[in-house]
């Protein structure tokens, strides 16, 4: 997995649902680590379908990332380490 991740040049947000049992966090970590500058965020109280299971947090994470990419400041969120 990931032999082409280094080819990705677009700003990249990797989201992982904190209760995702289909894709372990380590897979999301590998994806984020393989893409230069990628950001990994955890969506709490969500599984594999985080956009449906916690839409408020999902949307906030996406808005914050887009704000950072575009240099705006409409949202604030810390990175998950």
| Residues with a known catalytic role | 48
| Residue pair 63/75 in contact by the 8 Å Cβ criterion | yes
Give CA–CA dist 20/2, Å, rounded: 20
Torsion sign, CA atoms 59, 41, 77, 75: negative
Strand partners, 1: none
């Amino acid at each position: 997995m990931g032999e082409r991740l280094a080819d990705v040049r677009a700003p990249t947000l990797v989201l992982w649902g904190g209760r995702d049992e289909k894709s372990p966090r380590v897979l999301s970590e590998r994806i984020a680590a393989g893409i230069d500058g990628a950001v990994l965020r955890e969506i709490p109280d969500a599984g594999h379908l985080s956009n449906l299971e916690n839409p408020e947090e999902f949307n906030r994470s996406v808005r914050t990332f887009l704000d950072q990419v575009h240099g705006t400041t409409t949202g604030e969120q810390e990175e998950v380490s």
